[in-house]
Chain A
Amino acid sequence: MGWLPWSSSTPETPKSSDGGRIAPDRSSRERCYEGRDLFFSCLDKNDILDSVKNDKEARRKCGKEIAEFESVCSRAWVKYFKEKRVMEYNRDKTIEKLKKEDQEQVAQMKARGWSPR
């Protein structure tokens, strides 16, 4: 889909008349988010977390979705969202782990006769 100016087929973002680079507007941002969500739900279905590291597998199993994703988002955004997915997963895991540890500690302390205020 080469009709989007910042799609992968044309790596340069369009220039404004005063020499700037035109940024995606609200509707193209929305399109990009939709493409991202479709691709990520396909990754979820196929149990792939890191589509940078497992690029080949992701492309094999979600070929259509990744092609769409890469055509509606700029290359920098694609990379950013792929990395963010892994980062958020790890963050949530860590929070979960800490919460669990916290609960266990509370349970232990309660067993020793401590009561929460």
Chain B
Amino acid sequence: MASTRFISRTLGRVPKAPINRSLTTSATQHIPLLRASQSTSQTQTFNGISNRTFTTTPLLRKGNTMGKIKTQNFTGISWNATLLFILTAAGLMVYFRVEKERLQRKQIREMSKGVGKPKVGGPFVLRDLDGKEVTEEDLKGRYSFVYFGFTHCPDICPDELDKMAAIIDRVKEETKSDKVFQPVFITCDPARDTPEVLRAYLKEFHPAIMGLTGTYEQVKHVCKQYRVYFSTPKDIKPGEDYLVDHSIYFYLMDPDGDFVECIGRQDTPESATKVIMDHINDWKREGKPLKNY
């Protein structure tokens, strides 16, 4: 039957698509099929009855024999059964899909844990905007959201930082806390981006963003840890204007300081918030500690 074929197909598929899409397809795939068979039988049965030109509702066929009545009742039951079957199947599909997504997230998370060193992130020493030393230990205990950029960036960083601001507000709203999620901006251009410059710059995007800078060597080291490519042009005369090439990703780090997932240019504030919230909720569900102060 069409329904079984449909289910096996959707179950086999990688569940990247939103859940509700499967439900709507199941509905649209079934109803037209059944309607089609119904209407053909109608036209066959009532072909030639001319006084029913203006209605398409089927005439109630009166069962005049037990056999006919039984058939009628039987079709009724099978309709209910079909509906029940579809609902159960849809329910199971939703459950399996949610569960599979959760396991996939877990897998993504575990990839950077366990054996050996984490692939992205790690120890670093930088300074915050008050000149206080900040290391990877200071970010532990909450989810951190790390972005690398520079204040003289023409258009991409400002766009991405506006996106970051939108994400911060959404996550704050959903977690009902501004403590579990720490947005961080690390400059790739420490020569120009001193704490004062960074403070003025970041203030325009979101007050919650933690700005970090350091010596050129410190910044180079942290970029290497996060596998961030960046290049400052050589032989710059003092005061001369230049751009810094760098990779543009947000890095979501879990409260253990391990890398979880990347958020890129293609993500919207909505999709990014969903990714982040899924991870935060998994973490909470597993009963792991999360700072809330």
Contacts and interface: CB of A to CB of B under 8 A. Distances in A.
Interface of A: 6, 11-13, 15-26, 29, 32-33, 74-77, 80-81
Nearest to A19: B194
A29 B243 contact: no
A20 to B, nearest CB: 3
B151 interface: yes
A15 B197 CA distance: 9
A26 B243 CA distance: 18
Interface of B: 151-152, 154-155, 158, 191-198, 200-201, 204, 239-243
Contacts of A77: 154, 243
B152 A17 contact: no
Contacts, number: 67
B197 A22 contact: yes
Contact of B196 (A18, A25, A81): A18
B192 A29 contact: no
A15 B240 CA distance: 12
Given A11-B239, A25-B204, A74-B241, A20 B154 contact: no
Given A25-B200, A26-B204, A29-B158, A16 B239 contact: no
Given A18-B195, A26-B158, 10 more contacts: A11-B241, A16-B197, A18-B194, A20-B193, A21-B152, A22-B197, A24-B152, A33-B155, A75-B241, A81-B155
Contacts of A23: 151-152, 192-193, 197, 200-201
Contact of B239 (A13, A26, A80): A13
A70 to B, nearest CB: 12
23 contacts: A6-B241, A11-B239, A11-B240, A13-B152, A13-B192, A15-B239, A16-B200, A18-B195, A20-B194, A21-B152, A22-B200, A23-B201, A24-B152, A26-B158, A26-B204, A32-B154, A74-B152, A74-B241, A76-B152, A76-B243, A77-B154, A77-B243, A80-B154
Nearest to B242: A76
Given A25-B200, A33-B155, A13 B194 contact: no
A76 B200 CA distance: 21
Contacts of B152: 13, 21, 23-24, 74, 76
